[in-house]
Structure 1
Amino acid sequence: MSSELVWEKRQFGHRARLALTPAQVRLMDDQAHVARAMWNQLHDLWRMTPKCQRSLSRLDQTLRQARKEIDWYAALPAQAAQAVLKTYMQAWKNCWDGRADEPTFKARIRSVMSVDIPQGRDLQIKRVHRRWGMVNVPKVGRVRFRWTKDLPVGKAAHKDNRITGARLVKDALGWHIAFRVQTLELKPEPHTGGEVGIDAGVNLPLALSDGNHQDHGRPPRLPDGSADRDKWLNPDEKAKLIRLERRAAHRKSFRKPRERGSKRLHATYDQIKQLRARATRRAVDWQHRTTTAIAKQYSTVVVEQLHITNMVKSAKGTLEEPGKNVAQKSGLNRSISQEAWGRTVTLLTYKTARHGGTLVKVPAPNTSLRCSACGFITPGSREDQATFLCKNPDCGWEGNADHNASRNVLHLYRMGHALIPAAGRAVARRTRGVKPATAR
């Protein structure tokens, strides 16, 4: 009996590196600065206007008048300027709904330079080489970009399979373009793989309950016990980073208080940012490859419900009650932040759905303290960060601490302790007649 094919719309983004000439870089920088200035103008107007008089039409009228009176505002296309207004209003809606903080003033140095292209038809994308494509950027011209993914262009593009827009973003490695793609794909069949519990750790990045652990092969800590901030850089890049940091410290010593740094100092900072961005890109690439492999292999992926913000809080305490082991806790916080557990869960969430699987969260308390063999919590079983040795006289199970936690995570799901979002919060669901995790 043949099953009926079900099609569904899917929206995703694809980011590609741009190859710009120096003149094109200047034009795109000018557009980004104009977009930032428009945001700040809208923010000032919103703050100065009484609440009873705030409206979208008033902001739109002010923005149009500013484009007529300020000459250098013409560097930004009109549609991109309207996208700034739309993004600003959406930021306030996110704030009112409790999803984000209030919009703030965008400083010249700390803000991310970006320009939106809301209309996909303005891009005129064409593939010219196996590795390169061409895209039209308004008021910049034809620009080459790195072709690493097939895009719906030419005859393959239609109403349900097209590029709806793009966004230009600049980071330490240069300008990139993020395409917004809408496609029509077959709804995936239910995944036939098995179930797996995952524990995110520091010594072992992703420990799986079946022993198929995922390790990026880079130690999280140095021999002296401190956190390795640059584990994604090779030895030559680490040596170069040390030289640049020393050079920046030397040049900074000549700067007087409240005096702007020299061009040489900022050039050194840019080189440091490039190395940091390269390390971040490698870490994200490893996460994408690993989460894709997990989503293809397993039908149900079980993870812990972690509150990472609380986990990385400082331990220095107050003057009345100073904290203990502050330096050690700071190193652990850096290691947790580098592993980016939240991003791993986000990637697994949509990738498991794409392959017909599901991602489930379970309560995190005591998953690392409970023995996965006997189910008891015995004091002293977790003596260090890497090893778990059950002190129960009737058990004595020994193994990797993260592997033990991943087995507990999977067992909680099988016992019915999955967290289901309800009314905007997570509640525990437990099968009737089943007790919490005890002896196996």
Structure 2
Amino acid sequence: MNTVEALPAPVVEGDRWPMLEPTPTGPASRIAAAATAKVVRAATRRLGISVSEDGRPADIVLNRPEEFYARLGRHGLIGLGEAYMTGAWDAPELGETLTVLCRDLEGLLPAWARRLHGVYERRRGHSDVNTPENAREHIGHHYDLSNEFFALFLDPTMSYSAGLFSSLPSAEDFADAQHRKIDRILDEAGVGEGSRVLEIGTGWGELALRAAARGARVTSVTLSVEQAALARRRIAAAGLEDLVNVDLRDYRAVDGTYDAVVSVEMIEAVGERFWPVYFEKIDEVLAPGGTAVIQAITMPHDQLMTTRTTETWITKYIFPGGILPSTEAITAVTEEHTGLRMRSRLSFGPHYAETLRRWDTALRDRAEEVRGLGFDETFLRMWHFYLEYSRAGFAAGYIDVQQLTFTRDAS
């Protein structure tokens, strides 16, 4: 149970949030809102979720019911997130409520409503494609918010990916879980004294630091200016500049030969169109007998097929250009385009749910410091929704995180 204070309702500043459209109005929107209200009431009753429209305690409290139903009716799940950002609704335990909903996503809407999904679903535009030019902008949108912001809620290793806990539930030190995750990747990749390691996606440098501590020589590439700057400072402070080189470079521009290639939760930012390019590059630079280990957030293949061209709340506000692969898609791409073959995989989705719970608790606990960095209440509510929405996906088993180990086909 989280005990930090609920976030206050924001005053949405239009010039700071141009993507956050006004509440839909007009006859069509009113009809959609009325139909949505009936669907929501039926679904929440069936799921045992209490809904209040008069401020009484409930699992979902509708502060402005008309806006809530109008946004949800017009823009589906994007509208659900936007209505939370504006304060149109609240939930005392947001993650738990969203988890219940995630466990029955297919059954939330009646068949007639599912057939009308095209009314509110939006297609991804060309700017969402991760060309080299777009990719730098997309990465900067999220990771260059400021190192000070991320330091407020990440653990001391500055790891922004799933920890691997010794057991769940866990009171384990967060840094220990992050080191266990990193060390398993390095062990799987066979990283040791003298290994030549390529890291695609630097983060803030913790994996590179631990690889160098083993005596490996590391080339780490990133498109985030902020991350590169802090990673270099951390590497210098550890006295490992001779073993680690952090390059501000697109993975597509990498050259050289490496005994191990590692990449932690970066494939989600690659984009479906460039999955073959990503794995072809790994195949190209991997030395004979080398190993690649990818940590990836994955989704079921049928969900990938039905949502791959659709804009979501996450792609609109958090990770433009992002898309989660399925294990099947990764296997198909590597087998068709490369000599890489998946040799093993570790699934640990529940560990991500715990990771996200800790991040969200820490961020809300330090909300005043977030405000001090210049971020407003809408931003805080957006991040709370993002972290708890993601946690719900892992807790419900709707999405997963896996470490995937590849070697080159010997045939």
Higher RCO (C-alpha under 8 Å, 6+ residues apart): 2
The TM-score with structure 2 as length reference comes to: 0.23
Larger Rg over CA atoms: 1
The TM-score with structure 1 as length reference comes to: 0.22
The structure carrying a bigger helix percent of its residues is: 2
The structure carrying a bigger strand percent of its residues is: 1
